[in-house]
Amino acid sequence: MDVEQVGKTIEAALDLPIRYIDRSRAYYLALGYDNPYRWAHNVDAPFAPLKKPLTQSRVALITTAAPFKPDAGDQGPWAPYNASAKFTEVYTMPIKPAPALRISHVCYDRKHTSAEDINTYFPLQRLKEAAAEERIGELNSRFYGLPTLRSQRLTSQRDGPRILELCRDDAIDAAVLIPT
């Protein structure tokens, strides 16, 4: 095998999917926790059938994307992981004007994904189109931001109930959750 073939073989071996479950378990052990990370397991799914057709439903968008923070460093497309851009509390913002959101605060495959198209992680424009084409009812005037804290306790006991409260306040019939 010549040098070029060896290089291609090594590159192919390194170009594998990221094993997030294994990585998260190892990360928690490296932090000194007594147990590896435990992935959520819910016996009952927290979903319910729609009470009316989607074409008559008020729809909300829930995202894990972060509001742009001008003083938090690079957050644009192809940006490296940026912990400074992370948020830790549920937030809400109006959908008009279109919000400035980013995903540099989460880990994702930056070799194959650029985050150049906001619709890949915040499909507000696609939902507006669906509403205009009457495929969904009314699009809510604000969206909700859900932090990615890797804490099942915070997600299930604090953040999830807060999102539910906001959805109830806005009389939401259906929500589209876009995790990043």
Q: Residue ranges per domain, the chain?
A: 1-39, 54-178
| Res. 70: pLDDT tops 70 | yes
pLDDT score, position 144: 98
Residues in the chain: 180
pLDDT score, position 6: 65
Q: Give the model's confidence band at 13: pLDDT under 50 very low, under 70 low, under 90 confident, else very high.
A: low
Q: Which of 5-14, 26-35, 74-83, 88-97 is least confident?
A: 5-14
133-153 in b/e burial notation, b at 16+ Cβ within 10 A?
Answer: eeebbebbebbbbbbbeeeee
pLDDT score, position 49: 87
Question: 85-104: per-residue pLDDT in tens?
Answer: 999 999 999 999 999 999 99
Q: Give the model's confidence band at 8: pLDDT under 50 very low, under 70 low, under 90 confident, else very high.
A: confident
Q: Residue 40 contacts by C-beta under 8 Å, 6 or more apart in sequence?
A: 152, 155, 156
Residue type, 99: P
| Res. 111: pLDDT tops 90 | no
Question: 16-55: per-residue pLDDT in tens?
Answer: 676 777 877 787 788 788 877 777 777 777 678 899 999 9
Whether the upstream peptide bond of residue 97 has omega within 30° of 0, thus cis, is yes
Task: Check residue 161 and report its DSSP letter.
Answer: H
| Res. 138: pLDDT tops 80 | yes
